[in-house]
Amino acid sequence: MEAVQKRRAFFVNHLDAARYPWVASGHAHAGMAAPLLVSGEVVGAITFLKSASGSGFDDDALAKVTILAAQLGTALEALRLNQLSREERRRASILVEVATALHSLPDTAAVMESIADRLRVLLHSPAVLVFVQQEKSFQLQAVSTETPKLALAIRSRFQQNDLRSSLEIATRAVAAGERITVSIDGASHFGEDSPPGVLIAAPFRTSRSHGAILVYPRLASPFTQEDKTLVSALSGFGAVAIANAELYGMARAQAHELHEILEISFELGSAGKLDEFMQTSVVRAASFLGFKRCFIGLLEDVEFHIRWGVENGVARPVDIPLYDGVATRALKKKNVFFTEDASKTSGANLEFVNSLQIRQLLAVPLLGSNGDVLGMFGVLDRIEAGPINEEDVRRARALAAQVAIALELTRNLHQSEEHRRRAEALVTIALELNTVLHLPEFMRNFALRAAGLLGGRSVALSLFQTPESQTVLMCGASEVEDKSLLRRFSQALTPALPRYPTDVAFAPAGDILGPALASVLGWKDCTLVRLAGSSGELVGVLCLADRGAAPSAEDHQLLRAIAGHASIALENACLFTRMQQANRHWMEVFDAIGDFIVVHDEQHNILRVNRSLADFVGIEPDQLRIDEHVTFPSDPPACVGITWKAGAGRHPALSPLRISQQLSSSESDSKSSRFQNETV
């Protein structure tokens, strides 16, 4: 002991039995001791005793024992380092083996199962459990036991909430953030299959999850410090492997998600029509996000209208207005809205929620390229039980962005196609109406074209600048010829016009025509379009029935364009009709004159004769041709001639002429007369 305390060798040739009682028992008279130093630390001592009387130790013996103690310390140090090296090599080989085994396991659950199996085999533990915290509770993620029967028993206990002691230890380890050891009685955990002893609980943490590994005590011997260190090392190494597996799983899920989004985008891009596009969208969205129902609504004016929905994989168009509420207000502010129980949401329309049996709801706004809200995209009730999480919101946002882009492109394409169709229809209307000057035919053609272009089950056109109001009423492609019904329509329309002074008006048919006439016609709504003349006076009114909705801003522009063109064409048709009537009246007066009248040009070519002269000659008036020789009877009549003479102004001038007769013989010796004219 003195050599250890003094840290140097020394000898005593005459031992004091009182001071060294243990030496006296060996009848020793002299003693020498030297400390054993390993890495500067005293680990023991070497003692030499002599029992022969008169014998002792000298300085030479002291030097020799000092050298021997140093050599022995060096040998012990080498042995210790060798053992330490072997232990480190064993641990390194274990870690390499674990790393090799975990490298080929990209799945998180498989990584945890492998870690549990490795720890159980290396430490000869009866059971190793891995708990992972999800949301606010721990879930049993992996179990490794000596027998499958024990593994089934542990999982059954967990499902029955009978692993409270294990869960409590896992919670303590995660809260502590370091390895802990807990003495257990065994029976409180697995019953008779769990031996008592010291349990090791090592926490682990990744960027996405955290939990704890529980290694249960073995029956043979308690865990050593090296075993505990190994558990900590493997739990840290396992955390890295779990994090890598989580990253790989996330990357794989995102790649799969991207692939699905690309497929959805391709399918949406191939849908040419808006209705087909929307039905495809809701079907793929419900499948992609894992929800039972899906819907898409459009923002029309200031109100959302659900236009397309899918349930159980079947899509159909709907028309459900969404009244102002907490969800619609959030969407108009470009925010995501979700709830786990719509019936318990403050400010919810409970009647609407109960009628559609809404529980979980996730709604995302559809934003256009300029940031405006185009509509909404929503899903109802997850297929797999569980709350709506951030991943659901992120996926819904990503899909909503694709749907919004495709929706905007489809709407632009649809609008472009509508503009093209309307432009072609306008050109067709212009070409057709410009070639039709007969008023009744013009009214029928215009009414049919307007109904086909603007939409409407029935159409009517009433004119007010004719001597009597004229009305054309078309039901589909057939014309209503009931004059009493047309008269009732004109009589009902005339007093209604002052109540609707705008160029385009939309109202229920009963308000405009009266309930009785609207019921007879079967009209529900009516769109009035005023047709104004060049001077601003009212020429007529176009009535489109059962369009189903008020005209939009684009419809207003189209209606005004059609009304402007139709007003000019109507004025031309009315003017042409009046000219025809005046010409017919002039012909009747011209033919009623009993005197013989000839109208000819400056070259004396006959243009027309009246009925009296034609009857006298014996031919029809329209059979006389320009520069034609006419054979008269032997007693020619006195005749008045009128020359259609072009004056100096824009319009032709009429000059009365006096006619003389000159008889001549033709080649056939027949008497003929030729009018020669002298200006009066």
What pLDDT, in 10s, does the model give residues 234-284?
787 777 777 777 777 777 776 766 666 666 666 655 555 666 767 777 777
- Quickly state the pLDDT bin for 505 (edges 50, 70, 90): confident
- What residues contact 213, with CB distance under 8 A and at least 6 apart? 115, 116, 119, 128, 129, 130, 201, 202, 203, 204, 231, 234, 235, 238
Query: Alpha-carbon distance 26 to 37, whole Å?
Result: 27
At residue 227, does pLDDT exceed 70?
yes
Answer whether residue 662 shows pLDDT above 50. no
Listed in sequence order, the residues at least 6 apart from 461 whose beta carbon sits closer than 8 Å to its beta carbon are 443, 446, 447, 450, 471, 472, 540, 541, 542, 543
- 673 pLDDT more than 50: no
Helices vs. strands in the chain: H and E counts, helices first: 18, 25
**Residue 465 and residue 121: Cα distance in Å, rounded?**
105
* pLDDT of the residue at 574: 67
pLDDT digits (tens, 9 = 90+) for 541-553: 888 888 877 887 7
> Six-digit token pair at 595?
């005197």
- Please choose, from the candidates 208, 211, 281, the residue with its C-alpha nearest in 3D space to the C-alpha of residue 251: 208
Domain boundaries, the chain: 2-80, 105-250, 271-416, 436-581, 593-679
Given a contact cutoff of 8 angstroms between Cβ atoms, the answer to whether 41 and 17 are in contact is no
pTM score of the predicted model: 0.44
Interatomic CA distance for residues 118 and 100, integer angstroms: 12
Give bridge partners of residue 538 from the DSSP assignment.
532
Of 191-200, 465-474, 595-604, which range is least confident?
465-474
* Residue 29 near residue 52 (C-beta atoms within 8 A): yes
Query: Across-strand partners of 654?
Result: 644
Give the mean model confidence (pLDDT) for residues 311-318: 77
Taking only the tens place, the pLDDT of each residue in 610-633 is 778 777 777 777 666 544 544 444
For residue 351, the model assigns a pLDDT of 77
The band of 664, judged by pLDDT with boundaries at 50, 70 and 90, is very low
- What architecture does CATH give domain 2-80? 2-Layer Sandwich (3.30)
Whole-number pLDDT of residue 565: 67
> Of 250, 163, 146, nearest to 208 (Cα)?
250
pLDDT (0 to 100) of residue 620: 75
Is residue 291 a contact partner of residue 383, using CB atoms and an 8 Å limit?
yes
CATH number for the domain running over 105-250: 3.30.450.40
Contact (Cβ atoms closer than 8 angstroms) between residue 424 and residue 410? no
Given a cut of 70, is residue 438 above it in pLDDT? no
Give the type of residue at 601.
D
Q: What is the pLDDT of residues 65-88, one digit of tens each?
A: 888 888 888 888 888 788 878 877
* Mean pLDDT, residues 96-124 taken together: 74
Do residues 284 and 265 lie in contact, with contact meaning Cβ atoms separated by under 8 Å? Answer: no
Parallel, antiparallel, or unpaired for β 470-475 and 458-463?
Answer: antiparallel
| Average predicted confidence (pLDDT) for the chain | 75
Whether 465 has a pLDDT exceeding 70, the answer reads no
What superfamily in CATH does domain 271-416 come from?
Answer: GAF domain (3.30.450.40)
Backbone CA torsion sign across 564, 570, 573, 575: negative
Cα separation, 472 vs 480, whole angstroms: 8
CB 268 within 8 A of CB 403: yes
Q: What is the dihedral of CA 155, 246, 201, 217, to 10 degrees?
A: 50
| DSSP letter, residue 639 | -
- What are φ and ψ of residue 316, in 5° steps? -155, 150
What separation in angstroms does the CA of 670 have from each of 409, 512, 660, 666, 675?
86, 75, 19, 6, 16
Which pLDDT score is estimated for 680? 26
Backbone torsions φ then ψ of 553, nearest 5 degrees:
-65, -40
Say which CATH superfamily domain 436-581 falls into: GAF domain (3.30.450.40)
Look-up of token digits 């005749």: 639
Query: CA nearest 528: which of 569, 496, 486, 570?
Result: 496
Q: Which residues contact 504 (CB under 8 A, 6 or more apart)?
A: 527, 528, 529, 530, 551, 555, 556, 559, 560
Counting every residue, how long is the chain? 680
Provide the pLDDT confidence category of residue 581 given band limits of 50, 70 and 90.
Answer: confident
Average pLDDT (575-596) is 76
Tell me the β-bridge partners of 597.
640
d(CA 97, CA 102): 9
Angle at which helices 439-454 and 390-435 cross, to 10°: 170
Q: How confident is the model at residue 641 (pLDDT cuts 50, 70, 90)?
A: low
Locate the DSSP E strands across 470-537: 470-475, 478-479, 504-508, 525-532
CA distance 119 to 113: 10
Distance CA(207)–CA(630), nearest Å, equals 116
